[in-house]
Amino acid sequence: MSDRWTAGARDSQAPVRMLCFAHAGGGSSLFLPWRARLGPDVDVCPIVLPGRERRIHEPPYTRMDDLIEDLVPALTPLLDRPYLLFGHSMGALVAYEVARRLRPELLIVSGRRVPGVTGSRHLLGDDEFLEAVAGLGGTPPALFGSPDLVRLFLPCLRADFRLVETYAPADTPPVSCPVTALTGDADPEVSPAQMARWAGLTTGGFSLHVFPGDHFYLKGLPEPVRLTVRDAARGVSAAPARAPRS
């Protein structure tokens, strides 16, 4: 079942696995190039949600609770070694919800304010909505110039924004794993001060790293970002695996 949710062959020899969750509309393409940069010590495992890439004909989720209910059981076979969760933008919220139900050694959140900050961009008309998405960067310009591509990808993008902007986390205790927050210093979506608020959602320790760049500062895995993620993964590989929550 987990094979439906992951992209590419997994590295059975890597001592630590990093489950990666992408931004709205994103899939494995952000993370697959990281394998060569972080291997062989880290098994970079991108998670592919319905509505994109090879799952593009599956209906995307529009509610976080529904997504997590199906996603968490699918991840269980991947938890056979020490692991961390990495989520960028929308993926940070998904990774956080997964961390609340499982017991990762580390949660890395990137480019997203703490849960509970809602919005209404998913209600915009198509032109206004696409303009808002384009303003974030990271989306190939060819997509916006092709009516066929817009028709193909628009439902997934809008569903993802709806999932994020209607997400209201339950009032539960902080996660017990450490949390590392990463962000770009020119991200229009979130400031370093707002990223620092993730410290209040964990009892396991917190660190914040700010890099040059906008919302997609991590694209291509610049060397400072690579070193930060590599060092975090090395710390995880030395930790004993923790059992999932019952």
Indicate which residue of 12, 28, 29, 89 is catalytic. Answer: 89
Domain ranges across the chain: 2-237
From the CB of residue 144, how many other CB atoms can be counted at a distance below 10 Å? 15
Q: Return d(Cα 10, Cα 17) in angstroms, integer.
A: 9
DSSP code string of 19-31: EEE--TT--STTT
| Three-state SS at 122 | helix
Q: Any catalytic annotation for residue 89?
A: yes
- Highest CATH level, class, for 2-237: alpha beta
**Which tokens in the block code for residue 224?**
């400072």
Q: Model confidence over 50-106: pLDDT tens digits?
A: 999 999 999 999 999 999 999 999 999 999 999 999 999 999 999 999 999 998 999
The answer to pTM > 0.85 is yes
Q: Model confidence over 130-160: pLDDT tens digits?
A: 777 776 666 666 666 677 777 778 888 889 9
